[in-house]
Structure 1
Amino acid sequence: MSGGSGGEAGVSVLIVDDDAGDRKQLRRLLAQALPRAQVFEAEDAGAAEAFDACEPDLILLDHMLPGTTGLELMSRLSAPWPKAAVVMMTGQGSEEIAKEAILNGAIDYLPKTGLTEELLRRVALSSIGIARSRWYAAERQAELSSFCDVLIHDFKAPIRSAEFLAEQIVEDLEDEDLDSLSQSAQLLQKTARQMSALVQSLATHIRADRSTAPVERVSLERVVDTALTALQREIAENGAEVTVDTAALLVCCNPAELAQVLQNLLANAIKYAGGRRPEIRITAARLDRPDEPERAEMLRLCVADNGIGIPAENARAVFDPFKRLPSALAVPGTGLGLATCRKVVKRYGGRIWCEPGREVGTVFCIELPVDLPRAAEDVAPTSGQTARA
Structure 2
Amino acid sequence: MREDLASARAELERRAADSEDHAAELERLRRELERANEDVEQLAHAASHDLNEPLRVIAGFTELLETRELDAETLKFLGLIRESSSRMQSLITDMLALSRVSRAEHSFGAVDLAALLDDVKTMLAPAIGAAGAEVEGSGLPVVEADASQLSQVLQQLIGNAIKFHGERVPEVEVWAASVPEGWRVSVRDNGIGIDPARADQVFGVFKRLHTRQQAPGNGIGLAICQKVVARHGGRIWVEPTPGGGATICFTLAGRAAAGAG
- Give the TM-score band, short-chain normalised: 0.7 to 0.9
More helix by share: 2
Distance 1:230 1:141, change over 3 A: same
- Could you tell me the percent identity over the aligned residues? 31
What are the residue-to-residue correspondences of 1:51-90 with 2, within 5 Å?
A: none
User: Residue 93 in 1 paired to residue 6 in 2?
Assistant: no
Match of 2:31 among 133, 138, 156: 133
User: Residue 267 in 1 paired to residue 171 in 2?
Assistant: no
Partner of 1:334: 218
Whether the 8 Å CA contact 1:299–1:369 is kept in 2: the answer is yes
Whether the 8 Å CA contact 2:183–2:255 is kept in 1: the answer is no
Whether the 8 Å CA contact 1:223–1:256 is kept in 2: the answer is no
What is the TM-score when the length of structure 2 is the normalising length?
0.74
Partner of 1:108: 21
What are the residue-to-residue correspondences of 1:1-389 with 2, within 5 Å?
A: 91-93=12-14, 98=18, 108-109=21-22, 129-137=27-35, 166=62, 169=65, 173=68, 176-177=69-70, 189-247=82-140, 249-287=141-179, 289=180, 295=181, 298-326=182-210, 330-356=214-240, 358=242, 360-371=244-255
Whether the 8 Å CA contact 1:350–1:369 is kept in 2: the answer is yes
Instruction: For residue 118 of structure 2, give the secondary structure of its aligned residue in structure 1.
Output: helix
The amino acid across from 2:136 in the alignment is: T
CA shift, 1:141, in A, is: 7.6
* Aligned mates of 1:201, 1:210 — CA distance in 2: 14
CA shift, 1:342, in A, is: 0.6
What whole-Å deviation, never above 9, does each CA across 1:269-308 have from its counterpart, x for those lacking one?
A: 0111123211111111222x3xxxxx2xx11111001111
Whether the 8 Å CA contact 1:216–1:372 is kept in 2: the answer is no
Whether the 8 Å CA contact 1:286–1:300 is kept in 2: the answer is yes
Between Structure 1 and Structure 2, how many residues are aligned? 236
* Aligned mates of 1:372, 1:133 — CA distance in 2: 33
Distance 1:190 1:275, change over 3 A: farther
Instruction: For residue 224 of structure 2, give the secondary structure of its aligned residue in structure 1.
Output: helix
Quote the RMSD (CA, aligned, Å). Answer: 3.9
Distance 1:181 1:329, change over 3 A: closer
Distance 1:184 1:240, change over 3 A: farther
Whether the 8 Å CA contact 2:62–2:82 is kept in 1: the answer is no
Q: Which has the higher contact order (CA 8 A, sep 6+)?
A: 2
Instruction: For residue 115 of structure 2, give the secondary structure of its aligned residue in structure 1.
Output: helix
For structure 1, which runs of at least 5 residues remain unmatched after alignment? 1-89, 99-105, 110-122, 290-294, 374-389
What is the TM-score when the length of structure 1 is the normalising length?
0.51
For structure 2, which runs of at least 5 residues remain unmatched after alignment? 1-10
Whether the 8 Å CA contact 2:131–2:170 is kept in 1: the answer is yes
Instruction: For residue 334 of structure 1, give the secondary structure of its aligned residue in structure 2.
Output: coil
What whole-Å deviation, never above 9, does each CA across 1:203-246 have from its counterpart, x for those lacking one?
A: 01112111114111221112211211110110000111112113
What whole-Å deviation, never above 9, does each CA across 1:168-194 have from its counterpart, x for those lacking one?
A: 947x83xx3599998887766554432
* Aligned mates of 2:124, 2:176 — CA distance in 1: 20
* Aligned mates of 1:352, 1:94 — CA distance in 2: 39
Instruction: For residue 108 of structure 1, give the secondary structure of its aligned residue in structure 2.
Output: helix
CA shift, 1:261, in A, is: 0.8
The amino acid across from 2:12 in the alignment is: G
Distance 1:311 1:179, change over 3 A: closer
The amino acid across from 2:247 in the alignment is: V
What whole-Å deviation, never above 9, does each CA across 1:69-101 have from its counterpart, x for those lacking one?
A: xxxxxxxxxxxxxxxxxxxxx624279x94xxx
* Aligned mates of 1:275, 1:132 — CA distance in 2: 48
